[in-house]
């Protein structure tokens, strides 16, 4: 990969739970000081993995449901005929790590710690994503769930409330990311892998519907990519990412849709990018 990339990603959530916190009864994550909603980097990476696993059958995913990592590691040792993993030296572990990068999309993309009982080393991934934060404060709503049927006959006269679910009326979330071309060379992350990653971000919520996130409740809204003309980059990430502004439109007090916001790439930033060999690519 010959280019460095920075990107700004915007997505919204309406009448759904974008990322429940298991330590707080699955309430939507929130910044206690500002009231802004939060979505973890791990949540976004999970959606990328799920999209790739669903749509690209030839691409294998390391972190997936019911995966046994030591079995995956053993596969590397067997494929390369490296002998007993328990007796592996640095050279064998390096070869096993390289095989894991070649064969698992998410390992060469996001990295992985594979220094377990069957040791395949550690990988720093070239693609890094920050926590997502809502532009404005959110309010979590709690909803009781009732049922019409029971499991056991003795419960037929009991109260039918069986649980609770949470949602937010609306939130526009913003995150940023960085793609390190030097680490991409180490893991084998290619230009084709990059395009698949961007495709996964654009379509992240298309195949992620659930009771907590019904169809149409979450949508990717903007993916603004800054492509540098070389590997080192032509400007600090902060100058590019902070330059993209997201503000409520005048007269809007309570946002309830993406149309309530203005997303602007200022002309000064556009001119700066042209002068410094940085291409602005809008994937959405």
Burial status of residue 22 (CB atoms within 10 A of its CB: 0-12, 13-18, 19 or more): exposed
Domain-wise residue ranges, the chain: 5-58+125-282
Instruction: State the pairing for strand pair 278-282/218-228.
Output: antiparallel
What per-residue confidence (pLDDT) applies to 78?
A: 97
Burial status of residue 252 (CB atoms within 10 A of its CB: 0-12, 13-18, 19 or more): middle
The rounded distance, in Å, linking the Cα atoms of 145 and 97 is 47
The rounded distance, in Å, linking the Cα atoms of 214 and 16 is 7
What Rg do the C-alpha atoms of the chain give, in angstroms? 22
What per-residue confidence (pLDDT) applies to 19?
A: 95
Distance set, CA 131 to CA 45, 117, 155, 165, 180 (Å): 11, 31, 44, 23, 18
Consecutive H or E run containing 210 = none
What per-residue confidence (pLDDT) applies to 159?
A: 62
Distance set, CA 272 to CA 161, 180, 252, 276 (Å): 58, 22, 31, 6
What's the longest Cα–Cα distance across the chain? 75
What per-residue confidence (pLDDT) applies to 4?
A: 97
Q: What is the pLDDT along the chain (284 residues), one digit of tens a residue?
A: 899 999 999 999 999 999 999 998 899 999 999 999 999 999 999 999 999 999 998 999 999 999 999 999 999 999 999 999 999 999 999 999 999 999 999 999 999 999 999 999 999 999 999 999 999 999 998 887 777 776 776 666 666 666 788 999 999 999 999 999 999 999 999 999 999 999 999 999 988 888 788 889 999 999 999 999 999 999 999 999 999 999 999 999 999 999 999 999 999 999 999 999 999 999 98
What per-residue confidence (pLDDT) applies to 208?
A: 86
Distance set, CA 86 to CA 13, 80, 94, 122 (Å): 48, 15, 14, 17
**What 3-state DSSP class applies to 232?**
coil
What per-residue confidence (pLDDT) applies to 155?
A: 65
- Name 112's bridge partners: 123
Asked whether the beta carbons of 256 and 208 are under 8 A apart, the reply is no
What per-residue confidence (pLDDT) applies to 243?
A: 96
Asked whether the beta carbons of 99 and 144 are under 8 A apart, the reply is no
What are the start-end ranges of the E strands in the chain?
5-16, 20-21, 27-28, 36-39, 111-115, 119-124, 127-129, 132-137, 141-146, 161-179, 218-228, 245-248, 261-264, 278-282
Handedness of CA 45, 125, 191, 106 (dihedral sign): negative
The rounded distance, in Å, linking the Cα atoms of 69 and 209 is 27
Task: Give the helix ranges, DSSP H, for the chain.
Answer: 41-55, 69-79, 90-103, 105-110, 181-187, 191-202, 237-243, 267-275
């Amino acid at each position: 990969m010959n280019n460095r990339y920075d990107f700004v990603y915007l997505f919204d959530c309406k009448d759904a739970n974008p990322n429940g916190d298991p330590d707080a009864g699955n309430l939507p994550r929130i910044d206690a000081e500002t009231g802004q909603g939060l979505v973890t980097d791990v949540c976004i990476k999970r959606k990328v993995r799920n999209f790739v696993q669903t749509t690209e059958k030839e691409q294998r995913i390391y972190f997936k449901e019911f995966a046994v990592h030591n079995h995956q590691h053993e596969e590397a040792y067997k494929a390369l005929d490296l002998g007993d993993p328990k007796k592996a030296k640095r050279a064998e572990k390096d070869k096993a790590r390289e095989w894991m990068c070649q064969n698992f999309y998410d390992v060469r993309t996001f990295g992985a710690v594979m220094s377990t009982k069957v040791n395949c080393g550690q990988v720093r991934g070239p693609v890094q994503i920050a926590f997502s934060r809502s532009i404005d404060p959110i309010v979590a709503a709690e909803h009781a769930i009732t049922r019409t049927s029971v499991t056991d006959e003795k419960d037929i006269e009991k109260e039918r409330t069986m649980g609770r679910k949470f949602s937010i009326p609306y939130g526009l979330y913003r995150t940023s990311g960085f793609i390190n071309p030097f680490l991409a060379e180490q893991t084998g992350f290619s230009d084709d892998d990059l395009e698949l990653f961007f495709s996964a971000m654009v379509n992240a919520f298309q195949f992620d519907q659930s009771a907590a996130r019904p169809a149409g409740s979450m949508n990717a809204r903007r993916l603004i990519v800054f492509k540098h003309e070389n590997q080192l980059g032509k400007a600090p990430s902060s100058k590019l990412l902070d330059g993209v502004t997201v503000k409520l439109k005048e007269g809007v007090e309570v946002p309830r849709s993406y149309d309530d916001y203005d997303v602007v790439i200022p002309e000064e930033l556009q001119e700066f990018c042209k002068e410094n060999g940085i291409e602005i690519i809008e994937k959405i």
